Amino acid sequence: MQLHEYQAKNILSEHDVPIPFGQVASSDLECKKISTSINGKVVIKAQVHAGGRGKAGGIKVADNPEEAKKAAQEMLGTSLKTFQSGGTEFPINKVYVEEASDISKELYLAVTMDFDEKCPVIILSTEGGMNIEEVAEKTPDKIMKIHVNPLIGPSPYKVRNLLSLLNLEQKISQQISSIIQKLYRIFDSLDCTLIEINPLAITNDEKVIALDAKITIDDDSIFRHPDIEDLFDETQMNQSELKALSNDLAYIKLHEGKVGCMVNGAGLAMATMDITMKAGTAPANFLDVGGSASEERIEEAYKIIASDNDVEIILVNLFGGILRCDVAAKGIINGFKNHNKPIPMVVVLRGTNSSEAKLLLENSELDISFVEDLPTAAIEIRNKLGK
């Protein structure tokens, strides 16, 4: 679960990580009021679940409250698409109003999991700011890492060693070192998958402050943090993904293809997507109905997949274990009949009661092809799309 910048900054501030003074606003008037209380230059920042706002017009500097109001007016109620948002438009319902800082240098600091090393990793670079992706690609030696033993936490000597390589003033290094320890404590205690501060700014008066903050919490441990769960902002989610979530279905929107995929199990999902690629096309989404879905849930799954405008054909690939194939077939037929937009389907249903399912689908006389296996499904998809 991702947090907004203002929520993440609240957490940072609770843990004594220095941040500029700021408050969140939902209207232009509120923004003006905050800006008046700051009494100086302010930065207005769109609160959306995507990075790269700076380059997309989601960060504006205002010299006075009137300008701040105008900036908020221009942003609130619109949506933002950034190079990080994968084609999605995120609605701007709130802006964060922050006192502007005079920056002398922008660093990058993050704590995340290193899945190769199987431990947390602290990532630090002196080349922070909006082009960090380019730095990582072109000059990876400028990105430094400390792997952390989770039983011990970041060893102070390792942090000192790393900072000594950066040629920073003692005064600055000490502040960064303290921030690293605090961030790690947050990372650990809140079960984060990522804390990213970019930029971690060194100001003209030699203070180190978090100018931006991104925190993502591991979904599987949200139950341990009910107060964090309350911070969930459903407006930032793809609405079909949200609908799936409320039906206990895992739905992922993808941004290339035209094949909707209904599957059960993650492994089968991957194989199914490989097959769609083999058919010379690509998945538009996939939905995992789980191992024991009911007829109603299959119908709901159909509706969610079919409501994606990119979908031109649906590939169903379910293994009938606890979920019986005939039950799945009935759900599919109901979905097809009851949804306002019937979409041609290719169906692979193997396992318990597969032959009953085949009979049901063939007798339905709908544009649903029952096929025996995935390779045949690939050929059938190609045929149907070619028509």
**Residue 198 sits in the site that holds Mn ion (CB under 5 A):** yes
Stretch that binds ligand GDP, among 43-51, 186-194, 328-336, 352-360 (CB under 6 A): 43-51
Which of 1, 24, 43, 110 forms a contact with ligand GDP (CB under 6 A)? Answer: 43
Catalytic pick among 98, 106, 196, 380: 196
Closer residue to Mn ion (CB): 73 or 216: 216
In sequence order, what DSSP letters do the residues of 196-217 get, joined into one string? EEEEEEEETTS-EEES--EEEE
Closer residue to Mn ion (CB): 198 or 353: 198
362 assigned to active site: no
- d(CA 302, CA 154) in angstroms, rounded, equals 48
Q: How far is the CB of 212 from Mn ion (least distance, A)?
A: 4
Q: Which tokens in the block code for residue 97?
A: 């109003």
Which of 44, 59, 262, 318 forms a contact with ligand GDP (CB under 6 A)? Answer: 59
Site for ligand GDP in 120-139 (CB under 6 A): 129-130
- The CA–CA distances, whole Å, from 227 to 11, 24, 232 equal 11, 18, 10
Q: How far is the CB of 127 from ligand GDP (least distance, A)?
A: 12
- The CA–CA distances, whole Å, from 228 to 10, 93, 189, 369 equal 11, 19, 12, 46
- d(CA 260, CA 275) in angstroms, rounded, equals 12
**Residue 106 sits in the site that holds ligand GDP (CB under 6 A):** yes
Closer residue to ligand GDP (CB): 192 or 348: 192
Residues near 170 by Cβ (< 8 Å), separated by ≥ 6? none
**Residue 211 sits in the site that holds ligand GDP (CB under 6 A):** yes
**Residue 82 sits in the site that holds Mn ion (CB under 5 A):** no
**Closest to 337 in 3D by CA, of 304, 363, 302, 286:** 302
Number of residues in contact with ligand GDP under rule CB under 6 A: 17
**Residues 70-97: b if buried by 16+ CB within 10 A, e if exposed:** bbbbebbeeebbbeebeebebbbbbbbb
Stretch that binds ligand GDP, among 52-60, 135-143, 304-312, 367-375 (CB under 6 A): 52-60
Q: Which tokens in the block code for residue 18?
A: 């220095």
Angle at 60 between CA 88 and CA 186, to 5 degrees: 70
127 assigned to active site: no
- Contact residues toward ligand GDP (CB under 6 A) are 43, 45, 51-54, 59, 100-101, 103, 106, 129-130, 198-199, 211-212
Q: Which residues are catalytic?
A: 108, 196
